[in-house]
Structures are given as structure tokens and as C-alpha cells.
Structure 1
Amino acid sequence: MAALWKGRRRWKTNNYFKVLARSLTGKYEYDYDLVVIGGGSGGLACSKEAAQLGQKVAVLDYVEPSAKGTKWGLGGTCVNVGCIPKKLMHQAALLGTAVKDAKKYGWQIPETLSHDWGTMAGAVQNYVKSLNWGHRVQLNDKKVKYLNMKGSLVDENTVKAFTKAGKETTLTAKNIVIATGGRPKCPTNIPGVEHGITSDDVFWLKNSPGKTYILNVYSSDVGLECAGFLTGIGLDATIMVRSVALRGFDQQMSGLVTDYMEAYGTKFAWKCVPRRIDKLPSGALQVTWTDTQTDSQHQDTYDTVLWAVGRAPETKALGLDKLGVQLNKETGKIIVGADESTSVPNIYAFGDIGEGRPELTPTAIKAGRLLARRLAGQSTQLMNYDNVPTTVFTPLEYACVGLSEEEAERRHGKDGIEVYHAFYKPLEFTVAERDASQCYLKVVCESSGNQKIVGLHFTGPNAGEVTQGFALGFQCGATYSDLLNTVGIHPTCAEEMTKVHITKRSGLDPTVTGC
């Protein structure tokens, strides 16, 4: 208690002199120009940009271990338990498919193939750890103060930071940025929920998860991606979907993705809800669920249950309510303005924690850099959140930019849009004799005027790589005629986008039959 009182007295004394200095000089002496709470991709980008612009910056980052005790280093969700390990494990699954294809191309492959989880997981985890270290080195090189501490707000210019052991430090700053992102949610009303794991755990498992049941109650893309790579490396994976898959995405494309996954070997329990999970004496997990279409109850045993029910913002421990920072009561996210400002001066928030913002790493990185430039007085440019491209890394990848067909129709009316579409067969599928019936693309355009493109969707190999280039066209206001005037690269899947000419309205067969 004596040490705590001494620390508080020192803080009050220091602040007294700072207030006195401000009254005499009109300026306030802060410890930092900018304090960033959150060391994910967005927070790191913001802090490094600010430091390069001459700001004195500190970053606070502390990861609370998951309920299963999983913990990781600097870099946030994307680096540690999201995009990076997910894409690498997706690649492991793609390589398994490629090995099977290789026989058709003349490679002499043993009849029996097996996958070793430990080798893959160890390699992925080592790479992630190298990124953790790289981020620390970059912060040091750019003179950003890194504190492995939890932060909470005292006022609009003051942050209290706590170590794991409870040691307290007070930081003052001209501006404070919150970029704490989110963590996976778990249901609270299902008995046995504690027996499951989340995406915070699956990428750090040292042993194979074995037969896995993925409870994808709220249509998470992460759930589908995990089911896809688990199936791809030879595991028995079942995914439960309460209503529709990939809510918020184009539903025709979603159907193609899940049709391919089912053909690929992933099992689906459609229109089902979980009831309970029981741990048996053998250690196996018995899952009970209800099929809402037939009102029938089902039961099976699994080695692992993975919860993929969405994410919750990390706001509860920040002390936002005491300061009056306005939150969306339903989502718990921070309400922000176009400039990432909150309802309290000098406090900003961006990334997954911001209400209405895409939960995507590249948008957080770009928004963080732009915010740093504005706070340093170097720019007035705001982040443009329209037409952000994204990819779902399922076995058949799906990428899109702009509006879904449903949203385009809602905004413009059924007669106000024209949809050009095509089913195509990737050349690499031909010799391998792979089914390409879900390889599809569509371009959603305004039907009037110069037919401005408002949505573009693609399922097929390397969907993200294909769509990234077309996203530039969106930023430039591309039209359907611009697309047709673009020369494709032959033979590629991407070139099919430049040749698409059949409309849904025509009713003609959209299957591509040749060059």
C-alpha cells in the first residue's frame, strides 16, 4: 500500500508541475506526442508512421492468454492467430491437392500420402515468432517505445499501464489511439462450451486436432477456412451452419464455395444449432445439436470442437465508460467519425474496434498510417472505406470487391443493374481432370449510362491475386467497356474477367467453351 500511495503521489506531483507549466507557457509537457494502445498490424503501422514524422511515440501491447492458455507475441491477430498462419495452413492443404494432381502430369507419387501436423505447425509457428521479433526490431529502429503492458484510460491525455505482475506506469500524451482489435467470442448459453477451442488456439496446437467439429453459428468466414484446410490435410472436419454461410457476402458465390467444399470432403450440418458438449471419460468430446428443419436431435463424438462464432471488440478493460467514449451498445465497438475520432477529444480509434469498419488487416494498416499523418499535421487525407477488396481462403478461393449482387439490386433496383457472368475451367484443372463446376465469375454493373462496375466476384485458384489488380480499376471508376477494352493475359483465369459478355438477364449458357 505504501508503494502504491507513493506512486500515486509522484504522479500527482508530476502532473501538478505539468499543469503549472501549461499555465505559464500555454503549452502542456506530455511524455509522448502519441500513445497507441494495441500492437496489431494497424497499431504498429500508426506508431511507426508517426515516429517517422518526428513524433515521440509509445506502443502498449499485452496479450491476455486465451481460455485454453494460448499466448503469443507482438503483431496482433493477423500475424499470430489470423491471416498469416491461416494462409500458410491453407497452402499446406493446396499442396496436398497439387500432389494428387501431379500423378496426371507424370509424377510418380506413392499411393499412400500422409500429413504430419507437428511439422507443419512447428514451421508456421517459427515463422510467426520471427515476425514477432521483426516487429520489435522495427519499433526499436524507428525509436518507438514498446511496452509489453496493458493500458487503460485515465483521461483524454493520460494512460495507466500495467505489467503482468501488476506494476503500474502512467503515460501522458497529446493524442491517444486505441487499436486493440477483437478476440473470438464463445457462446455463453451452451453447456460444455469450455471444452472447445477458438481460432486463438487452433494455429498453436502442437498436436493434430484430429476429428474436428466446427461450430460456425454466425456464418464466420474463419470457420469455413479452418474446415477447408483441416479437410485438405486429411482430417475429418464437420462444420455446423445455423442459417447461411458467409453472411454479408454474395450468396450465390457463397453457395459455390460451400458446394465445392462438400465435394472436396468437408461435411456440413446445415440449419443446425448446438445444444451441449460433454467430455467423455476417454477424453473425446460428445456434441449434441438440433436440426432446426426437422426438429431432430443428433449426437457424435469428436477429438476437437472449434468455436467460430465471430469476434468481440477488446474494449472492456480500457476504462472507456468513465471517460464517456461512446460505444455501440449492441456490438461493443467504438463509434468513430470519418477521421477516426471518438466522442472524447484527443482519443482516436480505428481497425476492428471501430463501429462499421471492415475487420480487415490492410484497412487497419492504411487507416493507421493516414491517422498518424493527420495527427502530425502532415496531411488531411481520410481513409476511404469504400470498395475494399477481400478474399476468403477456402479450398476454392473466393475474392470480391464492391457490392454483392443482392446489395446492388437493393440499391439500384433489379432493372438498374446488369450482371455479366461466366463459368470457366482453369487450364491447370484440365490435365488433372478436376471438377471446375464452381469456378465462376460475375461483374455487377449499373445498367444505365456507361455501365459503371459496382461489384466484382471471382471463385477459383489464386482468387486474391486475380482480384487485387481489378480493385485498382474500382478506385478509378472502371466501367464495363473499360473491362472489355483490357487485354487479358493468356492463358490465365484472370483473363476470363476481360472476356465476360453473357448477362444473367439473357438466360444464355454462361459456360466458357474456348478462347
Structure 2
Amino acid sequence: MMAALRGPVARFRLRTWAWTRRTRGAANAVGGQQQGFDLLVIGGGSGGLACAKEAAQLGRKVAVADYVEPSPRGTRWGLGGTCVNVGCIPKKLMHQAALLGDMIKDAHHYGWEVAQPIQHSWKKMAEAVQNHVKSLNWGHRVQLQDRKVKYFNIKASFVNKHTVQGVDKGGKVTLLSADHIVIATGGRPRYPIQIKGAMEYGITSDDIFWLKESPGKTSMCKAPHAAEDVALECAGFLTGIGLDTTVMMRSIPLRGFDQQMSSLITEHMESHGTQFLKGCVPSLIKKLPTGQLQVTWEDHASGKEDTDTFDTVLWAIGRVPETRNLNLEKAGVNVNPENQKIVVDAQEATSVPHIFAIGDVAEGRPELTPTAIKAGKLLAQRLFGKSSALMDYSSVPTTVFTPLEYGCVGLSEEEAVALHGQEHVEVYHAYYKPLEFTVTDRDASQCYIKMVCLREPPQLVLGLHFLGPNAGEVTQGFALGIKCGASYAQVMQTVGIHPTCSEEVVKLHISKRSGLQPTVTGC
């Protein structure tokens, strides 16, 4: 019966079935000796690698077990985890490709004679991005080898509290034991399995960056309850390189982020060519004889159904932690039954004291690469370096790489009001125009900054939100001040660098409460 299955869903289920059969009998199949380590890290993403390398630097015997299950569409990649392979790195590079397209269009205003129309090659861009990612995969292998970290390309699961068994792609079983075990397996994109045709014909962020040919006309489907900034980021760079792109979303665009900023982002994207179907939920994906995909969706406001055809359907409806195949129950590790994330304490420890979890797989942690890296290093230092320093997850800065970038740190306006009350919160804000936009007369109507503060002097800064070019570079610097407890008064005493976009932060003087027009008109 299994041999008769066809299609990506069937192949995905067949791989899972075969792996389950192998691991069930693994204990009886092992003939070699068990290998022991001071630290075993399960997962070769940013957090796991950082933890492993730090422990090795401290003189410990360390192993990393990492295995990437191919996506339902068959996409596979190397060592480095989500960020390196199917996240931050390829996303930022493709975002840069779109920005360069805009710069080329602007170039003639600055005296450059550029032949029009300009053309973009997905194939050339993808090859360059993929080659860079492969070089990072190789670099991680070399770094582990240099630090004498033993690398196992195996799919790991627990046998007991100190022992893990791993199966490689050929079915060979390896047993590993360790005094300390760190789970850093991250997460994978979720598929809406209740929608017919979703898995058969759709792709996710696991696939988009590894496509050899252009995705063409693309539908981006976003979940009602997922932050999934990747949906807007991918839609932004696809539009930017000239592809017809539609974002279908049931509710708000960036859950968990400041909603005024989220609205400005979508306004900017709409005005620059990305189409949004708001309040819409797909119900059926059907492949046509032409090879195109027919998407049927329901408009929740009107209750009407509609259809359109696309070349690619990309799901961005949240992520699920990679915990289900770890056999955590055999080790006694507790998970949140609602989301399957591993429950941890401030020490990153699970319900089993010598087993830890870091990064996206851990309950209540930001799903951000830098937090996983820092948490991993600090954990290794606590275990083997006589340190007691804990990871501080407050005021973590981040950036959404939409065409107009959005950087933020601290509380959103909604969070600040909910925590302190409207009467105790002061919001300073401004619309501004980057100098670079003036010669080209580029639209800057969504370039906006706001600083959320306590109203009582000296007005502690609770959050900063920046929408504009190079938002990540701007936000990183101000994040230090906010982390150190900066007040509005101190920010106002800071001298800006002229002419820059970041100087507009230290010039914020109009509060929302005043009702005055917040548009910057000069120095």
C-alpha cells in the first residue's frame, strides 16, 4: 500500500513512516558502543551551534546532532538551521535585490544613464544567494571541526534522560549519551492541512529561497493568529523584483507588533504594487491543466466566494516546534500541550534538570536568531564556565525587512497603554522625509517614528518604533540606550548625526496628546 502512494504529501508521509519503523527497532539494531560527551546539542541552528562552540572553547567534550527533514516539496539544506538556510540570510539578500531595483530606477535622477526598462533574473539571484548559503553551511562544519566538536548528521530522539539515539539517512543507528543535553531543534512552517490542496500544491518559506526558477504570480496566504512577518517580507521583495504578488489575510498584518506601524507598512506596500485581500481565507487549491494553481477563498465580510489563478501559493501561517519526534516523554521533558513547545525556566532548564531548551523550540522565548545565540552562549558559560549570568529577554530589538523597513525595541503603544494606562503614557512621533528621497521625489508618506514613554518625568522610554530606510541599523544603536534605561530627557540631550534618518529620533518633540501636526519641516 505504501509503495502505491504518489505526490508530495504521500512522499512526506512515507518518509515519516519509514523513519518511525527504523527508530522503533533501533535499540535492537545497535551493535556498536555508546559514545559519551559532556554536552550533547540536538539541533544545528544558530542557538545550538553557539552553545556547542562555547562549551568546546571551555574545554568540554561536545557533540552536535542535526538532521534536516526535507520539506513536503522535497527542499533540503545543510548545517546552520532556519536563519542561515531558509530565514534571515536568504531573506535579507533577496530584500537587497529588490532595494537595488528601486535604486537603479532612481539612478537617472542623480546623473546615471541607465537603460530602461531594467530586467531582473530570478535564476541568477537565486544561484548567488544559494551559493552564499552553501558557503555558510561549509563554514559551520569547519568551525565545529576546528573546535573539536563531533558532528552527527542524524535524526535524534531520546532513549532515556541521558541517552539519545540517532538515525542517519541510510538507516544506521548511533547511540549518544551526555551529562548535559541541550534541545535546540527550532521550528518548521505550518501547513493548513484542513484546506484541500494546501500541502500538495503550496510551498512555504522552507522552499521559496531554494526555487531554481521564478515563482511568477504569487499568492501569500497568512494566518489570522500568526505574527508571520515573513509573509510581508517575501511579498515585499517579490513585488520589488517585478512579480505580481497578493497577500491574503484574515485579520491584522503583523500580530504582536505595534499596529499603527503595521498599518503604515501595508499602506506603503499597497501603494507600491503589492495587492492585499483583507478578511479573506482560502478554502481550496486546485491545479489546472495549464499548471497554474486556482485558489478559491471566502470574503468573511461579504460571505462571498472568489477565485483567481497563481503560479505559486506560499503559506505563511505560523511555525510548529520540532518536538514531536524527539520522544521527550522517555526523558520526562514537559511540553506545553497547546503548542508543543518545551517548558523552560529562567536557566533554560526543562522539567529534567540536566536537559535544557533554547531558541524557537522553548516556550515563551522570542523567535529570533540573536536571542538564541546569546542564550546558547550564556547557557554554556553557566554549565562549564563558572558563570551565573542569565539571558535577559526584555527589550530585544528586531527589524521586519519589508520594502520600507520597520525596526522596533521595547513595548508597542498598545502594550504600554495596557500595562500603565493611557493617562500614564506619552507618545512622541514624527513623519519625516529621508534626504535620499528628495532628489527623486520618492514617496515618504509612511516614513514615521514614534517613541513610547512614561508620562511622568524623566519619562522613561518604554519603546521605540522606526519605519524607514536602514531601520535595523538605526534601531540597533538606540536599543542600547533603552536597554540601559534611557529617558526621553536623555534622548533629547543626544546630538544627532546630520543628515541622517536616525537623527530624527533625537528631534522628536511633538506628542500625540498635543494634537499638533507631527510632520518634520526642516532642521
1:124 to 2:132 alignment:
no
Match of 1:396 among 372, 391, 404: 404
Secondary structure in structure 2 of the residue aligned to 1:164: coil
Secondary structure in structure 1 of the residue aligned to 2:285: strand
Structure 1 contact 219–242 (Cα < 8 Å) conserved: no
1:115 to 2:120 alignment:
yes
Which residue of structure 1 aligns with residue 6 of structure 2? Answer: none
Which residue of structure 2 aligns with residue 344 of structure 1? Answer: 352
Match of 1:228 among 233, 236, 243: 236
The one-letter amino acid of 1:60's match is: A
Which residue of structure 2 aligns with residue 205 of structure 1? Answer: 211
Residues 401-412 of structure 1 aligned to structure 2 (within 5 Å)? 401-412=409-420
Q: CA deviation at 1:344?
A: 1.2
Q: Deviations over 1:192-244 (max 9, x none)?
A: 11200000000000000000000012342000000000000000000001100
Which residue of structure 2 aligns with residue 139 of structure 1? Answer: 144
Q: Tell me the distance in 2 between the aligned counterparts of 1:10 and 1:241.
A: 52
TM-score of the two chains, using structure 1 as the length reference: 0.95
Stretch moving more, 63-72 or 313-322: 313-322
Q: Deviations over 1:111-158 (max 9, x none)?
A: 211100000000000000000000000000001001111111112211
The one-letter amino acid of 1:209's match is: P
Match of 2:455 among 447, 450, 456: 447
Structure 1 contact 156–345 (Cα < 8 Å) conserved: no
Q: Tell me the distance in 2 between the aligned counterparts of 1:137 and 1:144.
A: 10
Q: CA deviation at 1:65?
A: 0.3
The one-letter amino acid of 2:201's match is: H
1:180 to 2:185 alignment:
yes
Match of 1:40 among 36, 40, 45: 45
TM-score of the two chains, using structure 2 as the length reference: 0.93
Secondary structure in structure 2 of the residue aligned to 1:317: coil
Q: Using a 3 Å threshold, how does the CA distance of structure 1 residues 103 and 5 change in structure 2: closer, same or farther?
A: closer
Secondary structure in structure 1 of the residue aligned to 2:489: helix
Residues 140-159 of structure 1 aligned to structure 2 (within 5 Å)? 140-159=145-164
Secondary structure in structure 2 of the residue aligned to 1:391: strand
The one-letter amino acid of 2:187's match is: G
Secondary structure in structure 2 of the residue aligned to 1:269: strand
The one-letter amino acid of 2:520's match is: V
Structure 2 contact 449–465 (Cα < 8 Å) conserved: yes
1:332 to 2:337 alignment:
no
Which residue of structure 1 aligns with residue 365 of structure 2? Answer: 357
Secondary structure in structure 1 of the residue aligned to 2:462: strand
Q: Tell me the distance in 2 between the aligned counterparts of 1:426 and 1:4.
A: 61
Q: Deviations over 1:353-375 (max 9, x none)?
A: 00010000000000000000111
Which residue of structure 2 aligns with residue 271 of structure 1? Answer: 279
Secondary structure in structure 2 of the residue aligned to 1:124: helix
Q: CA deviation at 1:103?
A: 1.5
Which residue of structure 1 aligns with residue 323 of structure 2? Answer: 315
1:95 to 2:95 alignment:
no
| RMSD over equivalenced CA pairs, Å | 1.3
Secondary structure in structure 1 of the residue aligned to 2:497: coil
Q: Tell me the distance in 1 between the aligned counterparts of 2:110 and 2:29.
A: 71
Stretch moving more, 151-160 or 297-306: 151-160
Structure 2 contact 161–332 (Cα < 8 Å) conserved: no
Q: Tell me the distance in 2 between the aligned counterparts of 1:10 and 1:292.
A: 59
Structure 1 contact 453–479 (Cα < 8 Å) conserved: yes
The one-letter amino acid of 1:39's match is: G
Structure 2 contact 228–254 (Cα < 8 Å) conserved: yes
Q: Tell me the distance in 2 between the aligned counterparts of 1:364 and 1:184.
A: 18
Which residue of structure 2 aligns with residue 498 of structure 1? Answer: 506
Q: Tell me the distance in 2 between the aligned counterparts of 1:364 and 1:102.
A: 40
Which residue of structure 1 aligns with residue 60 of structure 2? Answer: 55
Q: CA deviation at 1:106?
A: 1.5
Stretch moving more, 125-134 or 313-322: 313-322
Structure 1 contact 41–75 (Cα < 8 Å) conserved: yes
Q: Tell me the distance in 1 between the aligned counterparts of 2:485 and 2:227.
A: 31
Q: Tell me the distance in 1 between the aligned counterparts of 2:48 and 2:261.
A: 33
4+ residue segments displaced more than 3 Å: 3-11
Structure 1 contact 85–128 (Cα < 8 Å) conserved: yes
Secondary structure in structure 1 of the residue aligned to 2:159: strand
Which residue of structure 2 aligns with residue 370 of structure 1? Answer: 378
Stretch moving more, 291-300 or 251-260: 291-300
Secondary structure in structure 2 of the residue aligned to 1:316: coil
Q: Deviations over 1:173-206 (max 9, x none)?
A: 1000000000000001101112000000000000
Match of 2:472 among 453, 457, 464: 464
Structure 1 contact 445–452 (Cα < 8 Å) conserved: yes
Match of 2:392 among 384, 395, 401: 384
Q: Tell me the distance in 2 between the aligned counterparts of 1:360 and 1:10.
A: 38
Structure 2 contact 265–446 (Cα < 8 Å) conserved: yes
The one-letter amino acid of 1:354's match is: A
Secondary structure in structure 1 of the residue aligned to 2:296: strand
Secondary structure in structure 2 of the residue aligned to 1:137: helix
Q: Tell me the distance in 1 between the aligned counterparts of 2:46 and 2:165.
A: 22
Structure 1 contact 179–351 (Cα < 8 Å) conserved: yes
Q: Tell me the distance in 2 between the aligned counterparts of 1:417 and 1:260.
A: 28
Q: Tell me the distance in 2 between the aligned counterparts of 1:72 and 1:106.
A: 43
Q: Tell me the distance in 2 between the aligned counterparts of 1:5 and 1:198.
A: 35
Gaps of 5+ in 2: 1-21
Q: Tell me the distance in 1 between the aligned counterparts of 2:266 and 2:363.
A: 29
The one-letter amino acid of 1:413's match is: G
Q: CA deviation at 1:378?
A: 2.2
Structure 1 contact 219–241 (Cα < 8 Å) conserved: no
Q: Using a 3 Å threshold, how does the CA distance of structure 1 residues 9 and 146 change in structure 2: closer, same or farther?
A: closer
Which residue of structure 2 aligns with residue 301 of structure 1? Answer: 309
Secondary structure in structure 2 of the residue aligned to 1:419: strand
Secondary structure in structure 2 of the residue aligned to 1:318: coil
Q: Tell me the distance in 1 between the aligned counterparts of 2:491 and 2:460.
A: 10
Structure 1 contact 86–226 (Cα < 8 Å) conserved: yes
Overall identity of the aligned pairs, in %: 66
Structure 2 contact 38–179 (Cα < 8 Å) conserved: yes
Q: Using a 3 Å threshold, how does the CA distance of structure 1 residues 349 and 497 change in structure 2: closer, same or farther?
A: same
Q: Tell me the distance in 2 between the aligned counterparts of 1:201 and 1:113.
A: 27
1:74 to 2:79 alignment:
yes
